[in-house]
Amino acid sequence: MKSEHLDAKRGPRGSYTQMDAAKKVVLESSLEGVPADWVFVRFKDVDEYNRISYVELKRYRVAVFKDEEGVYHECYRPLHPEKDNTMSGANVIPGTHLTPDLFADVASDVYQLHTPVYRVNEFAISLTSLPLVTTPYPMPLR
């Protein structure tokens, strides 16, 4: 998988506000089918990270509406349902942007392998002669 967004400039809040993803998919929301008295306010991004054999980011562009009483409502309807008909935030652990699969991988790295989170990328994995056995070799610290 080609790394599409790993070298992108970071946001204004610093380098630790979002995870690097090798593939980024943006899913737009349709503005049709909402009640007539709702006023469109803006779009809001809802992220979902998943690791397949690479880290994939699905960014849902969720529409935010305001009704006549001033109450805000978030609404996501796929603009192109033939591409992806998933719901925004349906497969995400509450309070995070991670799917259960990616969270399990991170937890396994930290608690089973005792790898600190900040050092996960500092280890190179070298394959031995056995196809399913890997040996981590620490890279020199900077």
pLDDT the model gives residue 8: 56
Residue keyed to tokens 């980011």: 57
Domain count, the chain: 1
137: in domain: no
Main-chain phi, psi angles of 37, to 5 degrees? -85, 0
pLDDT less than 70: residues of the chain = 1-19, 110, 114-142
pLDDT the model gives residue 93: 80
113: in domain: yes
pTM, two decimals, is 0.47
pLDDT the model gives residue 25: 85
73: in domain: yes
pLDDT the model gives residue 131: 45
Cα–Cα dist 26/7, whole Å: 18
pLDDT the model gives residue 135: 45
